[in-house]
Chain A
Amino acid sequence: MELSKEQLIEMYKKMVQIRKFEERVVKLFADGKIPGFVHLYIGEEAIAVGACSAIEPKDYITSTHRGHGHLIAKGGKIDLMMAEILGKATGYCKGKGGSMHIADVDLGILGANGIVGGGFTIAAGAGLSAKMRGTDQVTLCFFGDGASNQTTFHEGINMASIWNLPVVFICENNQYGISLHQSRHQRVADVSDRAVAYGIPGVTVDGNDVVAVYEAVNEAVKRARNGEGPTLIECKTYRHRGHFEGDPVVYRSENEFNEWLKKDPIPRFEEKLTEMGVLSKKEVDEINEWAVKIIDEAVEFALNSPEPELESAVRDVYTDIIEEVRK
């Protein structure tokens, strides 16, 4: 499948939108406007965008604690996301979930997840559901290198492989599980090596190259829709920020950081698109301004939104049980 000019521009716009969103979250967090933790996606934008460009609106994703990028790439509403992160009643979870619990089932976003490795079995479940309903929906399951050591990795992938479920497991190997370098938390250097244990294909791609990610996920999605089962794709990448905002990042060298900064996925893609004549410098500037404007509007919406009411704390926690208890 060839990528059209429109698709390439759309991919670039999404990457810029994620970057601008996260940069604004950095500022809002520093200003003390955000309750709770935030884990930012800066530097990894090529993965969410490359992967979500290979699926359709009807398909599903499961996300992680570092989920803003996935949600935006899948079409999540920026204003509702921002309101949720700022803990406002207009947010996706009515201001009660925060960054790590945003979901939009109508858009196929089955949720960010505060539990490391929490997405594997949800993705397998979504895959099973699609298979039982006889649809050709595919689920993308994003996770990190650290999550690949969780028991749910085994459970989710094993189940998906034995039942031939239409799931693509996408490892965002950003080299660190919190502050622990990958070489200190697992004996394999390539998470894709683990695919062989489940009898499924495993490939490794440059996670900072949006087209490389797109190509691999596109092929895996074709397999999944064709009933050939799951695939494990490892995308090598690097997060520019710490594990969470406020992390002093004392565990990695400046040298290492600078080397990865040279591979920043957005300037790389931008350079290629301008070189190809897909975008002019002026259009690049316009896209950046457009992205900032959307974020400005989202922040304004969020800041002007009401706080959740105290009594709403127990609402939406359980379905009917609370009402029954009240009775």
Chain B
Amino acid sequence: MMPEVHASGIIEYDTSGGSKMAKVGIIANPQSGKDIRRLVAHGTVIDNLEKVNIVKRLILGLEAVGIEEVVIMPDTFCIGERAIEDLGKKYSLKTKTSVLEMRIEGSQEDSQKAAKIMAEEDVGCIITLGGDGTNRVVARGCGRVPIAPVSTGTNNVFPTMMEGTIMGLAAGVVARRLVRLDEVCFQSKRLSIIKNKKEVDSAFVDVVVCKDVFVGSRAIWDMNKIFRIVTTRGEPTNIGMSAIGGFFHPISVFEDKGHSIKIGKGNLKVKAPISPGIVEWVDVEKFEVISVGDSVRVLQKPSILALDGEREVEVSENDEVSIRLLRDGPLVVDVNKVMNAAVNKGFFTA
């Protein structure tokens, strides 16, 4: 049974402590970490062969906690196939491993489709390898399955830099429901994009209203092109646009709040890490704390909305667009909590 989410954002869980769901999905985005921020900033470089290595370590971690089956999204680089083949040369794994049978397009739709199939196949947890952008797409398809996000992208707030072995162990513990989900997962917030009265997309960290009129190379890096930033969160340990809020008024994942920040000359200046290696002063014209349920209208037209760091939604002169903060995003695994809970229950001792 998957957890039910009430309008209040409180999650109810299966507390039977059963270990019947012993299947985990892995979605590794072969495109993450290759965008233009390697030119304009100093973004992390994680090539696809390293993603194969991470998937291998995830599988070994998952096997160590008794996961029976692992399914992996197919992709153009064959990350899953390579990991399975390499492990097969060295180990005789008890965990059954396979790559999902699905047609791939080589686009972000693959991640969404894979997440949906995995949710339908009742996986107990989906591990993602990617950045904020990857997780945004996975969240569209995963339903109520908890996400365990490993960072292999550029500006990452949603996923964390985490050793694959540890993430495998944690995701396995979660998938087997060896700990209470309400103790080790949190329900993320979401920014719903309403365009002409219809929800067209979502973001889970921030929405940036840009002066650009082209989606172009997707990334955003030039503060001179930014009108407004709306966030679900922002803490002093974040990188990217949400850090601007986080560096003077931190809002955690747990608070039912977000930022709405108008960029421009005003009384406030914030020094924040807006991209990897780029820490600069940002002029803030107006700053507001918004609450879950609040909407922010997009007044700048034409413009482009960048969702979790990627230019996505075009706003023309005639469009009516608003950004609404909600508490109905995907469930996210808190690795520290999972591992501590598992240790406290003695799972790793004999």
Contact = CB atoms under 8 A, between A and B. Distances in A.
Contacts of A272: 214
A202 B47 CA distance: 10
A231 interface: yes
A156 to B, nearest CB: 19
Contacts of A220: 39
Contacts, number: 74
Among all A-B residue pairs, the 9 with the closest Cβ atoms: A189-B77, A211-B216, A211-B214, A193-B47, A204-B34, A215-B217, A212-B217, A219-B39, A201-B38
20 contacts: A189-B48, A189-B77, A190-B30, A190-B77, A193-B47, A196-B47, A203-B39, A205-B36, A206-B217, A209-B215, A209-B216, A209-B217, A211-B214, A211-B216, A212-B217, A212-B218, A215-B216, A215-B217, A220-B39, A275-B316
B47 A259 contact: no
B217 A205 contact: yes
Q: Is the interface on chain B under 10, 10 to 19, 20 to 34, or 35 or more residues?
A: 20 to 34
Contacts of B215: 209, 211-212
A131 interface: no
Nearest to B82: A187
Given A196-B45, A215-B217, A189 B39 contact: no
Given A209-B216, A209-B217, 10 more contacts: A190-B30, A193-B49, A202-B34, A204-B35, A212-B216, A215-B216, A215-B217, A219-B36, A219-B40, A276-B213
B3 interface: no
A205 B217 CA distance: 6
A192 interface: yes
A4 interface: no
A203 B47 contact: no
B48 A193 contact: yes
B111 interface: no
Contacts of B105: 259
A201 B44 CA distance: 10
B32 to A, nearest CB: 11
A216 interface: yes
Contacts of B218: 212
A120 to B, nearest CB: 20
A197 to B, nearest CB: 10
B302 A216 contact: no
Contacts of A223: 39
A319 interface: no
A188 interface: yes
B216 A183 contact: no
A169 to B, nearest CB: 13
Contacts of B160: none
Nearest to A209: B216
A203 B30 contact: no
B179 to A, nearest CB: 37
A202 B218 CA distance: 16
A231 B302 contact: no
Interface in B25-41: 30-31, 34-36, 38-40
Contact of B31 (A188, A204, A209): A204
Contacts of A189: 30, 48, 76-77
B315 to A, nearest CB: 12
A95 B214 CA distance: 42
Interface in B211-227: 213-218
Nearest to A259: B105
A237 to B, nearest CB: 12
A204 B36 CA distance: 7
Given A201-B38, A203-B35, A188 B217 contact: no
A295 to B, nearest CB: 28
A234 B30 CA distance: 14
Interface in A199-256: 201-206, 209, 211-212, 214-216, 219-220, 223, 231, 234
Given A190-B48, A193-B47, A196-B45, A215 B36 contact: yes
Contact of A203 (B38, B77, B316): B38
Given A189-B30, A203-B34, A183 B39 contact: no
B48 A188 contact: yes
Nearest to A188: B48
Contacts of A192: 34
Tell which of A188, A212, A214, A272 has the most Cβ of chain B within 10 Å: A212
A192 B48 CA distance: 11
A226 to B, nearest CB: 12
B302 A276 contact: yes
B76 A216 contact: no
A202 B38 contact: yes
Contacts of B48: 188-190, 193
Contact of B39 (A206, A231, A234, A275): A231
A209 B35 CA distance: 14
Contacts of A205: 35-36, 217
Interface in A148-186: 183
Interface in B132-161: none
Contacts of B30: 189-190
A299 B222 CA distance: 46
B102 to A, nearest CB: 15
A66 B34 CA distance: 26
Contacts of A209: 214-217
A209 B39 CA distance: 18
Nearest to B211: A2
Contacts of A234: 34
A192 B77 CA distance: 13
Nearest to A228: B39
Contacts of A275: 316
Tell which of A196, A203, A216 has the most Cβ of chain B within 10 Å: A203
A141 to B, nearest CB: 16
B316 A190 contact: no
B79 to A, nearest CB: 9
